[in-house]
Structure 1
Amino acid sequence: MATESKLTKNLYTDITRLKLLNKSDAEVKFLLLTSPFTGDEDDDDLADKKREEYSITGQIYPNSEIYRERSYAIEIILTKTFPLDPPKVCFITPIYHPNIEEKGDFCNDLLVKTAKWTPKTSLVEIVKIVVRHVDEPDADNPVRAALFFYVSCFVHIYVQAEYVIVGRILPNSDIFKESAFQIEIKLTSSYPLEPPEVRFLTPIYHPNVTKDGKFCHALLLKTSRWKPGTKLVEVVRVIVEHIDNPDIDYSINPEIGREYLDNRVEFNRKALKMVEQHKLPRN
């Protein structure tokens, strides 16, 4: 087993290489903010450092259409068993992402000891893993499956002062989990005082969705439960939950609502048929 001094020196070398990711020609960009080393220690000082939990913080700069709009501060925590065990990566900057827990923990099988982790993985490679999987979400293993929402388009309509967000939801119920569904969230000039308008672009047979795709729910009615502080994350959550569990009290299509209550077998048959006709990939 490597000595404490060797482990610490290797870490110092690894962090030095990590700093090079701030160069303009780097494959991915990473700005180091803090590390266990102040930058003015010599080799003897490093050898004397006590091996505890090390924390490295920095900013990543994703490249995808949505996430490239800003940088994200992350923390890489190296435990006493590093590099035998993988580090823990946590997002300090809040981010809405299927592979990142609400509290910020980043989850990917490359950073799990029992999966693909190898002790030779460098800090540079770890940062590349994080950036790559922020840009390319792992839809097969989301840690927030019910909230998975892949944004494919964000449009600002200047003339009407509207914002349009287009993305895909991934329901979990037996019928609707067979497909992804593309939806449009329109934020009018009166948003957030008034709720957004939600429309399904992918056809769906559902009591709370009209033939032309309009989604109806109490939360999205100005006179009901809508509050200006409601976040878009909550809007997406409501959509997914009520696609999986139809709200018959707000059936915008009464015939389908009655069929859902009185003849579930027939409803399931029609809903599944439409899913099969218009299904979209879930990744």
Structure 2
Amino acid sequence: MSPNMELAKPRDFGEIISDTFTFIKQNFKPLLKYFFIFCGLFLIFTSASMILIQIKALNFYDNSLDPNAFDESTVFSRAFSMLGGVLVYAVFMVLQYVALNVTVLCFMTLYRQKQNTLPTTEEMWGYIKYYYLKILGSNVLLYILLIIGFMFCLVPGVYLSPIFALVTPIMIAENTSFGYAFNQSFKLIRDNWWSTFGVFVVVYIILYVINLVISLPSTILGAGNFFLHFTKNSQALSLPIAIITTLLQSISFFFQILMSVTVGIVYFSLTEIKEGTGLMERINQFGTNESTPGPEPEEY
């Protein structure tokens, strides 16, 4: 069995990609465990809101075919109800993605602090409850800045995307403020923007292909559900098909772990290239037998 992977070391383009898969392979069971423990509730709420949206959309379509049940006075209320459902779904999606990123990056931070050994559930919960709201607030601000950047001919948004991706791992691994992490992300990626951007593009393409394969049955079922509304059994089949398509989409969300791990690997690699913190820690440990994990952000 190969030894546990060292996170804090310099890596080139190919090594970042390969080490991402290596880390997931070596830690697949604990990552899967913590995914369900700390992201499961958000996943349930997101899935439930998605099912409700699908059912509302089909009911909206059904009522539009019946002139006696669908008139101008109900158009606004039904459209407003649909919009409210979409907004609720969007909120849960943001909460879900933040929970996934915080879970994975807390896992990687503790893994490194414990010198390449697995963190316990209690340690994970301590870190996640400490960082979640901080990361949520910072990510909302970063999303707004990215939207503004993409509005200006896409170029600023594309340039800022890999830089902003590093803010979350900096805040967690270094237990620092948003302002410091924001500035530090620009320093870390300096002279390494193209390689970092290239890594994220490759991983994004991999995720796109995975999601495409998983979403194909969902698309077929969704189209079938629409055409079934011309039959008598349409109402009986709407809910089961909505549940199945939502479950398929939930499965695709799990693979987002790949991007979160990539962001963590990129951060530790760039930090080692710029500052050599991992090398200094190993030098300081010469002659000692005690492990020296990183400081805890807070006593729990």
Q: Same fold per TM (> 0.5)?
A: no
Larger radius of gyration: 1
Bigger fraction of residues in helix: 2
Bigger fraction of residues in strand: 1
Q: What is the TM-score when the length of structure 2 is the normalising length?
A: 0.29
Q: What is the TM-score when the length of structure 1 is the normalising length?
A: 0.30
